[in-house]
Amino acid sequence: MLRIWFVSAGLFLSDLDSAVSEAVLRSRKVTLIVNCSGLDHVTYPRIPGLQFIHVPVQDRPHEPLDHYFDPVCERIQQNRSGSTLVHCTAGRSRSAALVMAVLMRSEGLSLRQAHERVLDQRPFIRPNAGFWRQLQDYERHLFRTSSVRMVWSSVNTDTSLSRTAVML
Ligand SMILES: *[C@@H]1O[C@H](CO)[C@@H](O)[C@H](O)[C@H]1NC(C)=O
Ligand SMILES: CC(=O)N[C@H]1CO[C@H](CO)[C@@H](O)[C@@H]1O
């Protein structure tokens, strides 16, 4: 089964395995890869003309994914002649949050609509609590309004205190 999900015309989301598969990239005519893997030593197929945007963030709440919202949106808009693939490792948190930001800015969707759009194709997305907060701030910055209300809860695990976010 291919783990690559259609988000909107020319925009796909995937995990790492699909992002390094030449067959997957060629079948979707990917010309631009947004690399949020956070992993060194990822080897991509050599496809002529394939370009990359590097988003060096880990899947942790305080990582500055939002620094990349605008540059990534702008670059994707310049690449209308091919498709863009946004990938992280599991295709659940970083890449999902980033494509929601793109849908808000490039297609004018609210955060709620962007979330529904992605969820429709990929039911297992789960941006971390910090990325949710960054997306809410981005929505307010773009539209001066907020379409979602979040409930934040703290979960005590053996080793750390992690926060989770649930959208209402
Ligand atoms: C992809 O991201 C990793 C980790 O941030 C980085 O080490 C690597 O150089 C990047 N590769 C490309 C082609 O952007
Ligand atoms: C395939 C494609 O459209 N590539 C373009 C992506 O954006 C860069 C920077 O604007 C262009 O140089 C490429 O031609």
Whole-number Å distance between alpha carbons of 160 and 44: 34
User: Is the minimum distance from the CB of 56 to ligand 1 under 6 angstroms?
Assistant: yes
- Percent of the chain scored above 70 by pLDDT? 92
Question: Does residue 135 surpass a pLDDT of 60?
Answer: yes
Please report which ligand is nearest the Cα atom of 71.
2
- In b/e form, how buried is each residue of 106-144, taking b as 16+ CB within 10 angstroms? eeebbbbebbebbeeebeebebbbbbbbbbbebbeeeee
Q: Does domain 4-167 have CATH number 3.90.190.10?
A: yes
pTM score over 0.85: yes
> Which tops the pLDDT comparison, 149 or 112?
112
Nearest to 96 by CA among 39, 11, 9: 11
Q: Whose CA is nearest to atom 6 of ligand 1?
A: 40
- Binning pLDDT at 50, 70 and 90, where does residue 3 land? confident
The per-residue pLDDT for 41 is 86
Strand partners of residue 34: 53, 86
Mutation pick for ligand 2 pocket among 33, 51, 74 (CB with most ligand atoms within 8 Å): 51
- Binning pLDDT at 50, 70 and 90, where does residue 149 land? confident
Q: Whose CA is nearest to atom 7 of ligand 2?
A: 79
Whole-number Å distance between alpha carbons of 75 and 151: 33
The per-residue pLDDT for 153 is 74
User: Is the minimum distance from the CB of 153 to ligand 2 under 6 angstroms?
Assistant: no
The 10s digit of each residue's pLDDT in 35-81 is 999 999 899 999 999 999 999 999 999 999 999 999 999 999 887 78
Question: Does residue 168 surpass a pLDDT of 60?
Answer: yes
> Which tops the pLDDT comparison, 162 or 138?
138
The per-residue pLDDT for 163 is 64
Domain spans, the chain: 4-167
The per-residue pLDDT for 151 is 78
Mutation pick for ligand 1 pocket among 35, 36, 65 (CB with most ligand atoms within 8 Å): 35
Position 92: which residue type?
R
Annotated catalytic residue within 11, 88, 90, 111: 88
Round the average pLDDT of the chain to a whole number and report it: 90
